[in-house]
Amino acid sequence: MRTWHEVRNATPWTSGLLPGDLVDVPHAAAAPRLLESARAHGWWGVRLDLGEAADKPSFFAACARDLRLPPYFGRNWDALWDCLSDDTLLPAEGRRLVVVDRWRLFAERAPGDWTTARKLLRDAADRWRDTGSPLVVLIRI
Q: Which residues contact 36 (CB under 8 A, 6 or more apart)?
A: none
The architecture (CATH level 2) of 2-140 comes to 2-Layer Sandwich (3.30)
Range with lowest mean pLDDT among 24-28, 88-92, 93-97, 129-133: 88-92
pLDDT digits (tens, 9 = 90+) for 130-139: 888 888 898 9
pLDDT of residue 2: 41
DSSP-derived pairing of the beta strands 21-25 and 44-49: unpaired
**What are the domain boundaries of the chain?**
2-140
Euclidean distance between CA atoms 96 and 128, whole angstroms: 10
pLDDT of residue 66: 96
Range among 5-9, 14-18, 135-139 with highest mean pLDDT value:
135-139
Number of other residues whose CB lies within 10 A of the CB of residue 60: 21
- Strands lying side by side in the sheet with 2-3: 2-3, 21-25, 135-140, 96-101, 44-49
Structure pTM?
0.85
pLDDT of residue 27: 72
